Structure 1
């Protein structure tokens, strides 16, 4: 099968200082450069954009706009009420190098992921809570751990009006005042911890273990981003091979059930998604489609005319450490941050085996984008337009509202360590359904470090190939419609 991209389905994970730059903070180029830059933007969008047929004609656009506004003017506008199938995800970046690093799990970060919620009935005061910390990161070295609460940053109490600037501004040095639970309230303590963000590489495998429950071996994997390799050596396949090693351990242990914890996984490399899915799927002995791709009309025709219909299919690989045929049960733990490649795993496995979901409704991301840069290097912007929609082997792609869990379990205020058999989601998966189909209840979040990542919720295809470059040049030269 001919692969046109290495598929990356990414919803940004880390509290990354570099990725928190707001659109208003992007310095536009000189006005007299705008028409040239915007001409390039239009050419790329008219070639690749999934909703190319919804774009305004070039003559009707205002090329004197700054590139951010011009790019926005081309998009197929999303509306929850009037156009729920519109574009929620395309964006423009002013730093392609930083974006590439984030896609490979490296960013300027504290290494601490947290959620935010109100701590008063007036919805004014806010508390933060650590969800997990990367081993060896600045936050880890400062003593942060899962469940820690904080109420102040650099001496200022967190409120609805200031939390964004305090946590997601330009600062890299932070002093957190920890909070304590007293009855039904969260109060300030006298304990502070200081941490400075730095460039840090994430290992996507957070935890793996094998449990024995009622004489059954159950494999458990906490997997937090689909990354094939570290950014410093992005062709090594180091992290993919780590997954293979873990499933080799599961296979040797004779696991008959698998719990895949994707509650904090926003996506990542499509190649890695194929790798992971291929370690789980039940093999039938024939070629099995993992997902199918659909582009805009002109690009669909171009690809099909040169490589045939099968070119739109991505297949499961034959993995030696596959455990699918020894599995009686697959459970995936989910949350509202479970997105893109994680949802691709769910959707792609469903035609071949029963996949049970425990947790909360997933994010809802069934379309993908690609990183487009100027080959001459004269234009410093990078585009990230949606260019593809994905389906499973039976043509299903109906999860823009997310996948609903079989059993709803929210994370409570008092968090247990990940991997602990007392942790509510894992406990439910290990021991079975709960009365009423719902377990635990937690605070309603008003934000999180996850959502501030510039690439959160993006299905990203980062490796352009000669085919697409050729298509773009031909379309521009010949005015292909």
Structure 2
């Protein structure tokens, strides 16, 4: 059985939900369900709440759901919000490694104008050399129609929930906030694509402030099925440049980062922290069965990870660390914030994070002929002070909305970046937008985003 420990966030309505094949043999379902039950009884964080005699005749997706200790604000405030099952274990593992069938365009959907049922899509970023990039899409582009039909609150899901070719009709918002329908159309067909999460970096100099800026979209060490730490090494090279440039302030942009491998979170944090390889980055807490078995097999070191020595570490020179966050920042992003806080001041700018302080494990039984993949919650994460009080999300020190007019990465006109630069320099680099909505108003108008559909929403997992 293949196992990878993982932290995940599941968003209702957009998560990867498994579907039952009508031609599946019920006997195979029973075998699959027994496999699901055995693994859940051992691994599940809330194993004591699993029903003693579940119905093994259900289809695997329904059976898995029947085992969960589901969150309820009143009855089970400590319950499970994040476990999920996927019909293809192979597709599950690929998506967690950054590989998926996609147009290469991540976007958010918002009601616009406010008070109407009209919906527009706003492009958050575009993967280089992807179908969307080749079609001409860039960050900040707006589309109002798909396949000739205007988007609204009733049809957006049906129009966009496909892996087939789509035709987008572009629009724009003028200086007075009026949406202008365009005539430009762009065709995009999804392909299987590997995403490089280390997306953008640059340096700023404002007087004595030498500021490094990094945009990071997912905690992934390397391409799926590779074993070369390519993306971790890319971050190392960026911080080597920062160190050579005498950077004394750092901005990390995690606003679109739903999580990923904890090994990459540890590696990244080790480039920043004012800590040593003897210091604990995070602890993980399991149910009593996993705890007892793992302690006997691996010892106490199984339950924590320490920082690693990095020659590119700039922590000793840092006067300011600002992390940009949003309602899409989760899991490994939150773990890094929580893990760094005991060692240095961390200023959060942007939106409230998801609030995901529990971890899951990737389970597959392909060697037994089981095609399904499981992602059950198995652990809770804590920092070196044994703090794990972010289950409702980290509240930003400075609440800022990015708005609907998006600027290229690195442009100080971006409200989040501009505020981060102000927090460091004490000087407004650019003017604040007049009449901008509050963060709460903006979030109320947002319906969803494709970020929330990546690998089940938001995630973090541990190699084993």
Fold shared per TM-score above 0.5: yes
Paired residue secondary structure (2:353): coil
Does the 8 Å CA contact 2:255/2:324 hold for their aligned counterparts? yes
Paired residue secondary structure (1:77): coil
1:263 and 2:285 correspond: no
Does the 8 Å CA contact 1:365/1:459 hold for their aligned counterparts? no
Q: Alignment partner for residue 201 of structure 2, among 203, 208, 218? A: 208
Deviation at 1:215, TM superposition (A): 2.4
Paired residue secondary structure (1:135): coil
Paired residue secondary structure (1:141): helix
Deviation at 1:36, TM superposition (A): 1.7
Residue 169 of structure 2: aligned partner: 177
Residue 269 of structure 2: aligned partner: 277
CA spacing shift, 1:123–1:100, aligned 2, 3 Å: same
Distance 1:24 1:376 in 2: 22
Does the 8 Å CA contact 2:349/2:420 hold for their aligned counterparts? yes
- When the two chains are superposed, the root-mean-square deviation of aligned CA atoms in Å is 2.3
Residue 291 of structure 1: aligned partner: 282
Residue 48 of structure 1: aligned partner: 43
Does the 8 Å CA contact 1:12/1:450 hold for their aligned counterparts? no
1:144 and 2:145 correspond: no
Q: Alignment partner for residue 301 of structure 1, among 292, 297, 314? A: 292
Residue 16 of structure 1: aligned partner: none
Q: Alignment partner for residue 403 of structure 1, among 394, 400, 422? A: 394
After superposition, give the CA deviation of every residue in 1:424-454 in whole Å (9 maximum; x if it has no partner): 111111122799xx98536331111112234
Distance 1:366 1:71 in 2: 22
Structure 2: 5+ residue stretches without partners: none
Residue 460 of structure 2: aligned partner: 459
Distance 1:65 1:246 in 2: 51
- Aligned pairs, number: 448
Distance 1:160 1:28 in 2: 34
After superposition, give the CA deviation of every residue in 1:259-293 in whole Å (9 maximum; x if it has no partner): 0010011111111111000000013x561000001
Which segment drifts farther, 299-308 or 366-375? 299-308
Residue 94 of structure 2: aligned partner: 101
CA spacing shift, 1:458–1:286, aligned 2, 3 Å: closer
Deviation at 1:120, TM superposition (A): 4.0
Does the 8 Å CA contact 1:217/1:256 hold for their aligned counterparts? yes
After superposition, give the CA deviation of every residue in 1:87-123 in whole Å (9 maximum; x if it has no partner): 1111111111111211111111111111111124554
Does the 8 Å CA contact 2:363/2:374 hold for their aligned counterparts? yes
Does the 8 Å CA contact 2:4/2:362 hold for their aligned counterparts? no
Q: How does 1:443-458 map to 2 (within 5 A)?
A: 443=442, 444-458=445-459
Paired residue secondary structure (2:74): coil
Distance 1:41 1:456 in 2: 22
Which segment drifts farther, 374-383 or 105-114? 374-383
After superposition, give the CA deviation of every residue in 1:374-403 in whole Å (9 maximum; x if it has no partner): 153311111111111110000111111110
Q: Alignment partner for residue 405 of structure 2, among 414, 421, 443? A: 414
Deviation at 1:155, TM superposition (A): 0.7
TM-score (norm 1): 0.88
Paired residue secondary structure (1:279): coil
Which segment drifts farther, 424-433 or 188-197? 424-433
Does the 8 Å CA contact 1:130/1:148 hold for their aligned counterparts? yes
Deviation at 1:347, TM superposition (A): 0.2
Residue 330 of structure 1: aligned partner: 321
